[in-house]
Chain A
Amino acid sequence: MFNDLIILIGILALAIGGFSIWKTRRLRIELKKNEASMKHRMYELAILKELGERVGYSLNVQNIVDIITGSLHQFIEYSAASSMLIDANKLVFKVHLEESVSRKFVNTVRDRMVGSISALLNKDFSEYKIEEIISGAILVEDLDDPVSSFFNIPLIIGEKVVGVITVAHKKTGLYKEEEMTILYKITRQASLAVSKLEDVVATEQMKLNAMVESMSEGVLMTDRDFRLVVANPAIKEIIGLKDKIEISIFDFIEKLDGAFDLRSKLEESIKLDKIIETSDVIVGDKFFQIFVSPVKVRGGATEGSVLGGVVLFHDLTEEKEIEHLREDFTSMMVHELRSPLDGIRTLAELMKSGRVKRSTKSYTEYVELIFENSSRMLELVNDLLDTAKIESGKFQIYPKDSDVRKLVEDERMFFAAQADEKDIILTATTNKEVPGIVSCDPDKMGHVLRNLISNALKFTNIGGHVAVQVFMHKKGGSVSEEASKAGFSWRVKSKNTEPIVPDDSLVIAIEDSGIGISVKNMSKLFSKFKQFNDTASHGKEGTGLGLVVSKGIVEAHGGTINVISEDGVGSVFYFTIPLNIDSGSKD
C-alpha cells in the first residue's frame, strides 16, 4: 500500500516534472516567437523612420527603394535583394548580392522581375533596355545554384506601379507569409509616404505654375543643359509661338536671333552667378527689358548648386509709348505757344518798319491778329497752369450763389457771332424745374461752358446745330431719360450703361450735330497726352487741354463729366453739379 503510494507520488512527480518541462519549452518557444516578432516590429519602425527622414529630402524613388533593399538583411536571409524601376524608356535593375551567385542566377531574377512588371502593368517590357547595377558579392560562374526561393513585392506610387522589389535565395522553402507581409507592409508605407509627398509637391507646383502662367511678364526657365523647362503663355505670345505646342529652346534662340543672344546670356549669367539685364530689346513691334538670372538650390544638402537659368521679359512698350506721348505733348505745346508768338513778332516787325500806314485796312487787320494770337497764348498758358494745379491737387473753386440761366445765356451770347459765321444754330434752354440759384463757382463754370461750346462749334459743320441744355437729375434717374423728359431730344443714344451721377444734381448738356467721336478716341478724350495727331488731321486747332481742365473743374465741384457720341452723328457732352456742394476746396 505504502509502496503503491510512493509509486503514485513518483508518477505524479514525473507527470508534474514532465508537464513543467513541456510548459517551459512552450514558454520558451512563445518567447522566441515574441522576440522575433518584436525584432520585426523594431525593424519595421527603424526602417520606416529612416524612410521618413530620407523621403523628407528626396522624392527619388530609386533612393527609397535602395533604403529598403539595403536594410532587408536585418530580418531576412537572401542571396540577392533587387529592385527594378521603370524609367522613361528603360528598366533600372539593381541587385545586391549577399553571397556569390552565378550570372544565370542574376539573369533568372532579372527575367522574373521583367515578367512580373509586365504582368502588373499588363504591358510587355521584354524589349525594354535594361540598365543593370550589381553590388555586394561577386558573380562566380562555376556556381550552379538555381533560384530556389523567391518573392516579388510591387512598388506602387500614387496608384501607379513603378517597379518591383525582389528577394531571392539559393535555398528552397525559405520565405513564409510572415516575411512577405513585413516587406509588403514596409513597401506600402514607403509608397504611401512618397505618394503623399508627391501630392504636396504637385499642389505646390500647380500653384507655382498657375502663378507663372498668369504672369503678364514672359518667363522661361532652362535646366543646366539649356533645355527648356518652363515657358509661360506670355512668353510664347511675345515670341510668336502661341499656337505651337511643342517648343524647345531652339525656337527661342531662332526667334530672338539678331535681337538677343539668349544662349550666351544664359551661359554668362550662370558662369558669373549674377542677374544680367538688357534694356530696349525689340521683339516683334514691342520693346522689352530682359533679365537673365541663374537658378540655384536654396537649402538642403545641395545648396548653391545650379539648376539652370530663368529669363524674364518685361514689356516696356507702354512705358515707351507714354514717354513718346510726353515728348509729343511737349513739342505740341511748344508749337502751340511758338506759332502765335512768331506771328505776333512777324507782324510787329512789319509794322515797326513803317511800311504799313495806320489808316490802312491792313493795319487794323494786323492789330486784330496780334490781339487774337496773344489771347490764344494767354488761354493756353492759363490752361497749362490749371492742368498743373489739377494734377497736383491744388486746384481751388470758390462756390457762391449763382444764376445758372444767366450764366448759360451769357456764354450763348459770347458765341453767337461765331455760330452765325458757320451758319450754326446755337441755342440755350433751361428747364423750368431748375432752381433760380445754384451754388457753384460761376467763373470756373463759365470756363467749362466756353470749352465745351467752343469744341462743339469747332466740330460741327456749316448748317448744323449746337444746343446748351440745363435740367435736373434726381437720385437713381437716367440722365438721357431725364433729358428727354425735360423736352430735349438727343440725336445720339447712350450705348453703354450710363455712368453713375451724383444724387440730385444740375445737368448741363452741350448737344451738337457734329462729326462725332470714334469709340477708340472716346477714352482718350479727357487725358492730357492726346490730340495732336487727331486735331491735326481734322485741321482744327487745339491742345485738348480744355477738356482736361473742364474735367478738373467739374470734379472739384463734386460732379462728373461724360460724353455720348456717335461717329458722324453728333455728340453730347454733359456735366453734373451736385446741388449740395460738399467741396473740400471751398474757402
Chain B
Amino acid sequence: MSDKKRILIVEDEVAILRATSDRLTDEDYEMIEAKDGRAGLDLALKEHPDLILLDILMPKMDGVQVMKKLREDSWGKNVPVILLTKLDLDDQKLREIVQYGAAYYLVKRDWSLEDVVKKVKEVLIKQ
C-alpha cells in the first residue's frame, strides 16, 4: 500500500465526479469513485479511505442514509466527510446530516473546485 492519502468521492453527476476526481488526482491523492449512495457506502466500508466527499441528493441511497450507516460502523464513525451539496443551509436534509457529524460541508452554489481542493488538504493535514 502506497502512502498516498486515499479519497472516496460519491457523486451521481458524472461531470462533477470527473472534474473533482481528476483535479485531486493531480494533487497526488488516490481517488476511489462511486456514482450512487449504496456503491459509495460499500466502497467506504471495504476500502476505508482517509476522507469521503459525499453528495446528498443521489439515487439508490441518499447522502443522509450513507452518513447514518457510516456512523454506525466502528471505523466509519470517525472518518472525515465533506459534503458536496446543492442544498441550502436551512434545508431539513442538511440539518439531519450535520447531526451525524460531517467534518465540513460545502454548498455547491458557492464553491469552486479550488475551494474543494483547499478544504480537502486542510482536513487531511489535521489527520
**Residues 1-33 of chain B, each 1 if its beta carbon lies under 8 Å from chain A, else 0:** 000000000001111101110110010000000
Contacts of A339 in B (CB 8 A): 12-13, 16, 86
A343:B60 contact, CB within 8 angstroms: no
Please tell me if the beta carbons of A343 and B59 are within 8 angstroms of each other in the complex: no
Q: Give a binary string over A350-378; 1 marks a CB under 8 Å from any B CB, 0 the rest.
A: 10010110000010011001101100000
Docked-complex contact A342 and B57, CB < 8 angstroms: no
Contact A343 B86, beta carbon cutoff 8 Å: no
| Beta-carbon nearest neighbor of A370 in chain B | B15
Interface residue A535 (Cβ < 8 Å from any Cβ of B): yes
Q: Which of B15, B26, B36 contacts A355 (CB 8 A)?
A: B26
B127 at the interface (CB under 8 A from A): no
Interface residue total, chain B, C-beta cutoff 8 A = 22
B108 at the interface (CB under 8 A from A): yes
Report whether A346 and B59 are in contact in the complex, using a CB–CB cutoff of 8 Å: no
Q: Are A347 and B86 in contact (CB under 8 A)?
A: no
- Cβ contact of B15, chosen from A335, A346, A540, cutoff 8 A: A346
A539 within 8 A of B: yes
> Does A340 have its Cβ within 8 Å of any Cβ on chain B?
yes
Determine if B113 is an interface residue (Cβ-Cβ < 8 Å): yes
In the complex, the answer to whether A343 meets B16 with C-beta atoms within 8 Å is yes
Instruction: Decide if B14 touches A342 in the complex (CB within 8 Å).
Output: no
The answer on a CB contact under 8 Å between A539 and B15 is no
Give residues of chain B (43-59) contacting chain A, Cβ–Cβ below 8 Å.
57-59
Q: Is the CB of B15 within 8 A of A340?
A: yes
What residues of B have a CB within 8 angstroms of the CB of A355 in the complex? 23, 26
State whether the Cβ of A338 lies closer than 8 Å to any Cβ in chain B. Answer: yes
Q: What is the chain A residue whose CB lies nearest that of B112?
A: A349
| 19 extra interface residue pairs, beta carbon distance < 8 Å, beyond A343-B13, A346-B20, A362-B22 | A338-B86, A339-B12, A339-B86, A342-B86, A343-B15, A344-B15, A346-B15, A346-B16, A346-B19, A346-B113, A350-B19, A350-B22, A350-B113, A355-B23, A355-B26, A356-B22, A369-B14, A537-B59, A541-B59
- Please give me the 5 A-B residue pairs with the lowest Cβ-Cβ distance, nearest first: A343-B15, A539-B59, A346-B19, A369-B15, A339-B13
Q: Which B residues fall within an 8 A CB radius of A? A: 12-16, 18-20, 22-23, 26, 36, 57-60, 62, 86, 108, 112-114
Q: List 8 A-B contacts (CB under 8 A).
A: A339-B16, A342-B16, A344-B15, A349-B114, A350-B22, A366-B15, A369-B15, A539-B59
